[in-house]
Structure 1
């Protein structure tokens, strides 16, 4: 290869290397001279390593205020633990003794050690619930967790329901009412506040109280705690029904349009939001040429087929008025 060819090959390599460097260091280069930036953790600044330009200042040090020089010292000084949660009666601050009868090395405990650990678990459980209020709270929060899991409610709803129950317990609203009733009412209110409501029939199915006690306790809790709960919107039920029936996004959009048209026509007032949502899904499926029966929709929404027939005709009439 000639000298000219060697120089050309070397220049092309340098050009490609420079382009790769520029592409990978767009963020970490100095805006003035293009040199590499470095972080000065002592002064909280980001400066250029060549010209000394201060690019960022007064940066927040998000690390610990202590120093550690080995892993043992780091574990000893660290104060980080599990986050507190309102879904546990002690907010997760107490210690649990594991149920596995094994030591730190994974070896099985002897019979004498197992009996000792069982006694320790018993005493630990007694110390965690020292009075009737904590026992009440433990039972109620366990009930909320059980019902929320059965209804498929997210964690933020469970957290809100736990806070509502704690407020009711602190304000002495439980005398004369069952723990299960107040826990169910708190979960029902939390689901409506979070925009993922469940119907009374669905909640009653997983609860240990009947619908009459649930509605009575719910009204009492809402009134005494001054909770702001908006009326249930039929549109909030539509995504769940669409998912359970395995329908398309087009059907969901059409169902929302039907509900909006009915709202403008004043058809929604005084009618069950669950029935309206189910009827809107059924009507939208028919308009989109999707095969779904009234029986399938009624099973998903847990309402009668008669309600679907009556409501979907009203929705179609309101939709025709809106498009006329």
Structure 2
């Protein structure tokens, strides 16, 4: 909304005292010649302002925070959809069509570069994988950061965007300690496991990622919830794994297989009727793996 300035300073170009202020853009300009005096208007009030529903429009004057999960990080601008001029008058029909064409070209120009188109496709797939794998926003943000680093180093050239994105997501899960296996990511992305593993090794080598060792205790809850194991059995399995870590029995072992074997051992101690096959299918490991780890944990 445009309003007259309270102090009405004289225009530096034409000398007239007809200064106007645009409340949306913060510009102060001359109403006679159009000369812009200032482009920003300082507001000493609070950062967040609340209004009643009858007041209309957006109750805040700050936008959403920047995010790596958006191709432009949320910093892009667009032409306002309101078909009104600076004084609030509606535009003519010919000017409306001109502004509509400008909006179209403005939208197209934001994705004219190959990197922008690549990021649009990759981050769109990332949003889909987030819902399928039910992971937190921090993991998604980390995945976008890793993928952007790979894009800066031209690692995407000649490779599948979806495979490299899935590898970035798996690397983010490993780095944040989120219990998601590479098979889970492959099933959600509808890709082959070896393709994701190949891209993950590339990211690990080229970006010099330092991955922490996955804690097998974190995998217990995931396996137990999928086959409805009681809470008491889960606590016994956690105690078994803690003793195994103290005795360095878990070194070099697959965390998921170790957690599955601990759960099977806890089921036998607690008298819960769960077979090796049930636990193996829930943990995505073989029954042979459970039997081998079971022998070591039982000792």
- Partner in structure 1 of residue 266 of structure 2: 284
Tell me how far apart the structure 2 counterparts of residues 237 and 69 of structure 1 sit (CA, whole Å). 47
- Partner in structure 2 of residue 229 of structure 1: 211
What does 1:99-178 correspond to in 2, within 5 Å? 123=105, 125-178=107-160
What stretches of structure 1 of length at least 5 have no aligned partner? 1-61, 98-115, 318-324
Aligned residues: 239
| Residues 254/130 of structure 1: CA separation in 2 closer, same or farther (3 Å cut) | same
SS at match of 1:237: helix
- State the Cα deviation string for residues 35-65 of structure 1 (Å, max 9, x = none): xxxxxxxxxxxxxxxxxxxxxxxxxxx9617
Tell me how far apart the structure 2 counterparts of residues 95 and 214 of structure 1 sit (CA, whole Å). 35
- State the Cα deviation string for residues 272-323 of structure 1 (Å, max 9, x = none): 1111111111211221222222222122111222222222222121xxxxxx
- Partner in structure 2 of residue 210 of structure 1: 192
- Partner in structure 2 of residue 269 of structure 1: 251
Q: What is the deviation of 1:70? A: 9.5
Higher helix share: 1
- Partner in structure 2 of residue 254 of structure 1: 236
Tell me how far apart the structure 2 counterparts of residues 316 and 310 of structure 1 sit (CA, whole Å). 10
Q: What is the deviation of 1:68? A: 10
Q: Does 1:188 align with 2:197?
A: no
Q: What is the deviation of 1:270? A: 2.8
Q: What is the deviation of 1:130? A: 1.9
Q: What is the deviation of 1:160? A: 0.8
Tell me how far apart the structure 2 counterparts of residues 164 and 309 of structure 1 sit (CA, whole Å). 37
Bigger drift between 163-172 and 63-72 goes to: 63-72
With normalisation by structure 2, the TM-score equals 0.69
**2:220·2:260 contact (CA, 8 Å) conserved in 1?**
yes
Q: What is the deviation of 1:91? A: 2.0
- Partner in structure 1 of residue 226 of structure 2: 244
> Bigger radius of gyration, 1 or 2?
1
SS at match of 1:89: coil
| Residues 287/128 of structure 1: CA separation in 2 closer, same or farther (3 Å cut) | farther
Tell me how far apart the structure 1 counterparts of residues 276 and 45 of structure 2 sit (CA, whole Å). 59
| Residues 76/252 of structure 1: CA separation in 2 closer, same or farther (3 Å cut) | closer
What stretches of structure 2 of length at least 5 have no aligned partner? 1-43, 80-97
Q: What is the deviation of 1:125? A: 4.8
- Partner in structure 2 of residue 79 of structure 1: 61
**Root mean square deviation of aligned Cα:** 3.5
SS at match of 1:181: helix
